[in-house]
Structure 1
Amino acid sequence: MDVHSGTFDPNEVSWQGLTLTPTAAAHIRELVSKQPDMQGLRLGVKQTGCAGFGYVLDTVTQPETEDLQFETDGAKLYVSRKAMPFIDGTVVDYVRDGLNQIFKFHNPKAQHECGCGESFGVQAE
């Protein structure tokens, strides 16, 4: 049995990355075109909700030094290395949901979601 000890360093991991769908990339480009100082969006996670974690999107005017950048068709998505263990491999989409248009996250690391879809949980590897 292989037992690992020590600490996890997100800077020493090779990430699969995040993907933007064409509709998500188009929406980010539209947001950036309306705000000249904006460079893209930052996707993060925070502890919240009944399942454990929730997604957080913020505008980015100046990327952080620890941010990883994922770009699709000129649309930039920034992610903190600290968030990557929870969202690596996620596909970010922008969809119409009823009368609303929202970002949707297809996260292969999410083991379960709450009933309302606002939070998700991950299983330790």
Structure 2
Amino acid sequence: MPIQLTEAALNRMHAFLARNPDAVGVRFGIRKTGCSGYAYTVDLARAVAENDQVFDQDGIRVLVDAEALPYVEGTEIDFKRHGLNASFVFRNPNATGECGCGESFTVDSPA
């Protein structure tokens, strides 16, 4: 599977989707921003778009735009709590660099 979810990420997404029954899954992608070039996005998916790649893991549908897939293929998504803060954590084998805050990353041009 090109995108892997840890047990913690699965639990978080199951809970979030249970509160949003009209969502068809979770949309994972990227946007240009930050000091390193790209930032990850994780949002509710309200519909499957024509160019989406859809991956299922333990009842969670992860939708990734086909244009973003080369940048995130093979990424493991985890969910971590640090005191009062909680966030998704990404282990992307395509990332060639990250900013100091860990919120943005760079990649070489995908093949």
Give the match's secondary structure for 2:11.
helix
Matched, 1:37 2:17: no
What do residues 56-100 of structure 1 show as CA deviations (whole Å, max 9, x unaligned)? Answer: 112112111211112211011110010011111100111112321
Give the match's secondary structure for 1:29.
helix
Which segments of structure 1 move beyond 2 Å, counting only runs of 4 or more? none
Give the match's secondary structure for 1:65.
coil
Matched, 1:78 2:71: no
Matched-pair contact (CA < 8 Å) for 1:43–1:55: yes
Structure 2 unaligned spans of 5+: none
**Inter-partner Cα distance in structure 2 for 1:104 and 1:68:** 21
2:38 paired residue among 53, 64, 67:
53
1:67 paired residue among 38, 52, 56:
52
User: In structure 1, what is the equivalent of residue 76 of structure 2?
Assistant: 91
Structure 1 unaligned spans of 5+: 1-15
Matched-pair contact (CA < 8 Å) for 1:28–1:76: no
**Inter-partner Cα distance in structure 1 for 2:92 and 2:59:** 22
Q: Which amino acid aligns with 1:121?
A: T
Q: Which amino acid aligns with 2:37?
A: G
What do residues 2-31 of structure 1 show as CA deviations (whole Å, max 9, x unaligned)? Answer: xxxxxxxxxxxxxx6111111111111111
Matched-pair contact (CA < 8 Å) for 1:17–1:90: yes
TM-score by length of 1: 0.82
Aligned length in residues: 110
CA root-mean-square deviation: 1.3
Q: Share of identical aligned residues, percent? A: 38
Whichever of the two has the greater Rg, that structure is: 1
| Structure ranking higher in strand proportion | 2
